[in-house]
């Protein structure tokens, strides 16, 4: 079984080729600001990115023959986790998605390439809009503003299955709290194979992160909107993009911040420790959803490489459950594993409706 995985990000397009579950190519195609500035909308980058994928395969002498092409799923309507075959309804909803992100190109490119290969199938798996929330977790103090599930579902699910496999268990039988520590931070309650509670890690909920503001004082935010100092788009950037560590310290580079701390920067230490404090509080709050019956707390994402961050999270939360760390994120392997599982019947293939 030969599989091509495609993961479009803000400034790069990652591709990977797996044959019978073994990686034979991993490539990170980076895009300069100048290249991307030629496109007024992300969706207009479709042909540009697709051609680079084809060029990378040719350069690495990979024959254009695959059993499946799987893309990172886009920000379409909410759906259950799992593997979905790309269909016309999905492509339509992705083209007209309310939220713009490079991940919207994943399924579209996968479908286009798969259509050129006889017998090849196009999939997505566990997109960021996976919504398995309990009804009680959706309710806020305002009927106008229900909680929305947008998080690092692909990595959450992959890490959960990895932990289960390593411990001779089944994901669907476990109670887990999983915290993805990246540019955005998501803390999810996984009960019996579903993420039944999670913060909106994209545009405003949960702990602040290197790039996100997290939960903010609502009254002050409303007042800020009416000062006339910022446009709507500028304010959105102050919530996602130029927020968190970026706003406080002018950088999202966690190792650089830690180096500053080691050199005596007390301001950097205060902000970094505040972020960690808020992460730990979110993990503690998540434990309530499981009545304290937690099999494990899993820490993953780029910041999970940092001893500074992990040791301090552990200090505050290790009393809740055993903590297991999975540094980084291997979304390419997660995509390829999902496609292989779909082709072999290990994972059911779901229909997007």
C-alpha dihedral (98, 99, 100, 105), degrees to nearest 10: -80
- Domain containing 217 equals 168-327
Asked whether residue 300 falls in the same domain as residue 347, the answer is no
Asked whether residue 187 falls in the same domain as residue 319, the answer is yes
Looking at every residue in the chain, the average pLDDT score rounds to 95
Asked whether residue 287 falls in the same domain as residue 341, the answer is no
Q: Is residue 139 part of a domain?
A: no
Is the pLDDT reported for residue 101 higher than 90?
Answer: no
Higher pLDDT, 58 or 37: 58
Asked whether residue 204 falls in the same domain as residue 278, the answer is yes
Higher pLDDT, 9 or 105: 105
- pLDDT given at position 10: 77
The secondary element (H helix, E strand) that includes residue 124 is strand 121-125
CATH number of residue 112's parent domain: 3.30.420.40
**pLDDT (mean) for 199-226:** 94
Asked whether residue 126 falls in the same domain as residue 210, the answer is no
294 token code pair:
């937690």
State the pTM of this model. 0.90
Number of folded domains that form the chain: 2
Specify the pairing of strand 2-8 against strand 68-72.
parallel
Confidence class of residue 6 from pLDDT cuts 50, 70 and 90?
A: very high
Asked whether residue 177 falls in the same domain as residue 124, the answer is no
pLDDT per residue as tens digits for the range 292-348 = 999 999 999 999 999 999 999 999 999 999 999 999 988 999 999 999 999 999 999
Count CB atoms within 10 A of the CB of residue 152. Answer: 28
Confidence class of residue 33 from pLDDT cuts 50, 70 and 90?
A: confident
Q: Is residue 150 part of a domain?
A: no
Asked whether residue 65 falls in the same domain as residue 117, the answer is yes
Asked whether residue 73 falls in the same domain as residue 43, the answer is yes
DSSP 325-345: EEEB--HHHHHHHHHHHHHHT
Q: Is residue 82 part of a domain?
A: yes
Asked whether residue 266 falls in the same domain as residue 301, the answer is yes
Asked whether residue 177 falls in the same domain as residue 307, the answer is yes
The secondary element (H helix, E strand) that includes residue 28 is strand 22-30
Asked whether residue 194 falls in the same domain as residue 234, the answer is yes
Is the pLDDT reported for residue 31 higher than 80?
Answer: yes
Q: Which residues lie across from 326 on neighbouring strands?
A: 300
Report the residue count for the chain: 353
Q: Is residue 126 part of a domain?
A: yes
- pLDDT given at position 68: 98
DSSP 3-state assignment of 204? coil
Distances (CA, A) of 151 to 62, 187, 198, 205: 33, 8, 7, 11
**pLDDT (mean) for 11-20:** 93
Distances (CA, A) of 3 to 66, 301, 332: 6, 24, 11
pLDDT per residue as tens digits for the range 41-72 = 999 999 999 999 999 999 999 999 999 999 99
Q: Is residue 29 part of a domain?
A: yes
**pLDDT (mean) for 118-135:** 97
**Residue % of the chain over a pLDDT of 90:** 90
- pLDDT given at position 75: 93
pLDDT per residue as tens digits for the range 110-123 = 999 999 999 999 99
Residues 6+ apart with CB under 8 A from 183: 209, 210, 211, 212, 252, 302
**pLDDT (mean) for 161-190:** 96
Asked whether residue 316 falls in the same domain as residue 346, the answer is no
Q: Is residue 144 part of a domain?
A: no
Q: Is residue 232 part of a domain?
A: yes
Q: Is residue 27 part of a domain?
A: yes
């Amino acid at each position: 079984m030969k599989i091509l995985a495609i993961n479009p990000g803000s400034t790069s397009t990652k591709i990977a080729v797996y044959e019978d579950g073994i990686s034979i190519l991993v490539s990170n195609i980076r895009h300069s600001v100048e290249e991307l500035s030629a496109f007024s909308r992300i969706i207009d980058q479709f042909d540009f990115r697709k051609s680079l994928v084809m060029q990378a395969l040719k350069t690495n002498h990979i024959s254009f023959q695959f059993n499946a092409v799987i893309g990172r799923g886009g920000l379409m309507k909410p759906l259950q986790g799992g593997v979905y075959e790309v269909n016309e309804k999905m492509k339509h909803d992705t083209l007209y998605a309310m939220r713009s992100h490079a991940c919207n190109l994943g399924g579209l490119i996968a479908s286009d390439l798969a259509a050129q290969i006889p017998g090849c199938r196009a999939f997505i798996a566990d997109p960021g809009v996976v919504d398995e929330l309990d009804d009680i977790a959706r309710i806020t103090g305002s009927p106008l503003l229900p909680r929305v599930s947008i998080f690092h579902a692909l990595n959450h699910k992959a890490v959960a299955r990895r932990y289960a496999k390593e411990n001779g268990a089944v994901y669907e039988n476990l109670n887990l709290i999983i915290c993805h520590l990246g540019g955005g931070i998501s803390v999810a309650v996984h009960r019996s194979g579903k993420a039944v509670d999670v913060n909106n890690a994209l545009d405003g909920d949960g702990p602040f992160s290197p790039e996100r503001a997290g939960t903010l004082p609502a009254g002050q935010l409303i007042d800020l909107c009416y000062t006339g100092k910022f446009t709507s788009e500028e304010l959105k950037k102050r919530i996602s993009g130029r927020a968190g560590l970026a706003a406080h310290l002018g950088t999202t580079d966690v190792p650089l911040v830690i180096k500053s701390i080691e050199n005596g920067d007390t301001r950097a230490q205060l902000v970094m420790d505040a972020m960690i404090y808020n992460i730990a509080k979110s993990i503690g709050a998540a434990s309530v959803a499981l009545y304290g019956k937690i099999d494990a707390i899993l820490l993953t994402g780029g910041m999970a490489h940092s001893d500074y961050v992990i040791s301090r999270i552990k200090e505050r939360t290790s009393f809740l459950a055993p903590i297991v760390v999975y540094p980084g994120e291997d979304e390419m392997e997660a995509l390829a594993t999902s496609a292989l599982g779909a082709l072999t019947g290990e994972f059911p293939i779901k229909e997007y409706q």
